Amino acid sequence: MLYSTLSVAAKREAFRARLASGELLRMPGAFNPLSARLIEARGFEGVYISGAVISADLGLPDIGLTTLTEVAGRARQIARMTDLPALVDADTGFGEPMNVGRTVQEMEDAGVAGLHIEDQVNPKRCGHLDGKEVVDRDTALKRIRAAVDGRRDPNLLIMARTDIRGVEGMDAAVTRARELVDAGADAIFPEAMATLEEFEAMRRAVDVPILANMTEFGKSELFTVDRLRDAGVNLVIWPVSLLRLAMGAAVRGLETLEHEGALTSRLGDMQHRADLYDLLDYEGYAHFDEDVFTFTVARD
């Protein structure tokens, strides 16, 4: 009922512990608070909060148009709805290194377990598109140092994302990843790795957890969880996948409505009302009503 039953501190601690255990944590992207509930109910280990999804949800492209306030607000709505740890996409940190410090504090207050900050120039773009640019080494490291300085809860996971692979190649990516770890990053998100061998090279390069981005229609081949685990990956995200699936279903549903004038033939594709109510814990609210509001007042 209502929000997560765990405190934010407990979620961060659990996230750190699971990462330290070496298991591979699967974190599908929640496109809204309700889908975070579904991810938890299906037994996944975490929830990813994607910048691309937040932008798309607002009808905007993912080119740095969203503000810190919008992203932190959505992160709060999603993170509070689940007992799972949430990892949020903080893009380039929303400004200069000083802003990055503030971004970290806002995200801490929003209740996420971790966030990632990337080394793209502003305005950023999707990491799987051509023509992106990265900042110089100094600026990239300053962003991470500012993030670490801004953090108040040592259990908040600060992940550095590097986009340099798609710009300067794999050697540069390995060097940048090592430098980001030296600057204080707790984990590395090597963006747009093309092959499993590239993930393995990144695995050998740093001794902190690494993340694999299994976004569709991008630069990376889509590897299974088992193959990523064997390559030594610690976290995997499918950032936009649930939104893509839901939008794909919406397109097909609208087509049916156009052609058939009713959605009867699509009922099997829909989440049943009963399943929605389970997810929302309607029953818990009903009991609450009974226990709290159904009482008799004695008159004498």
Ligand X SMILES: C[C@](O)(C(=O)O)[C@H](CC(=O)O)C(=O)O
Task: Scan for tokens 């740095």, then name that residue.
Answer: 64
- Binding part of the chain for Mg ion, among 52-60, 101-109, 133-141, 182-190 by CB under 5 A, reads 52-60
Active site residue 285: no
Active site residue 198: no
Q: How far apart are CA 40 and CA 81, in angstroms?
A: 10
Closest CA to 205 of 248, 239, 238, 171: 171
- Of positions 19, 24, 52, 236, contacts ligand X by CB under 6 A: 52
213 binds ligand X (CB under 6 A): yes
And the tokens for 279?
Answer: 């997810």
Active site residue 133: no
126 binds ligand X (CB under 6 A): yes
- Of positions 4, 35, 50, 66, contacts ligand X by CB under 6 A: 50
Query: Of the residues 40, 45, 106, 118, which is catalytic?
Result: 118
Query: Of the residues 40, 45, 89, 119, which is catalytic?
Result: 89
Active site residue 278: no
In three state form, how does the secondary structure of 145-203 look? HHHHHHCCCCCCEEEEEECCHHHHCHHHHHHHHHHHHHCCCCEEEECCCCCHHHHHHHH
Active site residue 281: no
119 binds ligand X (CB under 6 A): no
Residue (15 or 189) nearer to ligand X, CB? 189
Closest CA to 25 of 33, 37, 16, 38: 16
150 binds ligand X (CB under 6 A): no
Closest CA to 52 of 215, 165, 162, 212: 215
Query: Of the residues 40, 45, 91, 163, which is catalytic?
Result: 91
- Of positions 92, 215, 234, 241, contacts ligand X by CB under 6 A: 215
- Of positions 28, 29, 46, 51, contacts Mg ion by CB under 5 A: 51
Residues 6+ apart with CB under 8 A from 215: 52, 128, 237, 238, 239, 240, 241
And the tokens for 3?
Answer: 């929000």
Shortest Å distance, C-beta 64 to Mg ion: 9
Active site residue 191: yes
Picked from ligand X, Mg ion, none, the partner binding residue 186 (CB below 5 to 8 A depending on kind) is none
Residue (14 or 212) nearer to ligand X, CB? 212
46 binds Mg ion (CB under 5 A): no
Active site residue 287: no
- Of positions 40, 45, 89, 198, contacts Mg ion by CB under 5 A: 89
- Binding part of the chain for ligand X, among 1-9, 212-220, 244-252, 256-264 by CB under 6 A, reads 212-220
C-alpha pair distances (Å), 272 with each of 266, 276, 277, 279: 11, 6, 9, 11
Shortest Å distance, C-beta 275 to Mg ion: 30
Residues 6+ apart with CB under 8 A from 221: 194, 195, 196
- Residues forming beta bridges with residue 47, ordered by sequence position: 86
Catalytic residue positions?
48, 62, 89, 91, 116, 118, 126, 161, 191, 213
Summarize as ranges the residues that interact with ligand X (CB under 6 A). 50-52, 62, 89, 126-128, 213, 215, 218, 239-240
